[in-house]
């Protein structure tokens, strides 16, 4: 330790430093802006406007199956055409 002031006294002093707050008009302005932003965020998150993670998880496998079915159908059709020609 370089200084003569004991660390324990310093730590105790730091723990008891006063708490400062902003001016009331600043407190109210920040609160109003944040509440407005929160309300906008809630509106954006309303059901029906966006897919929930459950819906997104359900749609993807169905889409993959659908595309797979179309691919297999096209392959069968091409095979039948080939067979007829033979």
**Segment 6 to 45, residues that bind another protein, using CB under 8 A:** 6-7, 9-11, 13-23, 26-27, 29-31, 33-35, 37-39, 41-42, 45
Given the rule CB under 8 A, which of 4-12, 51-59, 67-75, 76-84 is the region that contacts another protein?
4-12
Phi, then psi, of 20 in degrees rounded to 5: -110, 150
Q: Are 76 and 84 in contact (CB under 8 A)?
A: no
CA 27 to chain CA centroid, nearest Å: 28
Question: Which CB atom, from 37 or from 73, has the smaller least distance to another protein?
Answer: 37
3-state secondary structure of 66: helix
Rounded Cα–Cα distance for residues 30 and 22 (Å): 10
Binding footprint of another protein on the chain (CB under 8 A): 1-7, 9-11, 13-23, 26-27, 29-31, 33-35, 37-39, 41-42, 45
């Amino acid at each position: 330790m370089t200084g003569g002031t004991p660390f324990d006294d310093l730590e105790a002093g730091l723990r008891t430093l006063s708490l400062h707050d902003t001016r009331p008009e600043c407190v109210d302005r920040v609160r109003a802006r944040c509440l407005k932003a929160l309300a906008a965020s809630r509106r954006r998150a309303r059901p029906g406007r966006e897919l929930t993670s459950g819906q997104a998880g359900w749609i993807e496998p169905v889409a993959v199956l659908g595309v797979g079915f179309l691919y297999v159908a096209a392959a069968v059709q091409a095979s039948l055409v080939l067979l007829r020609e033979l």
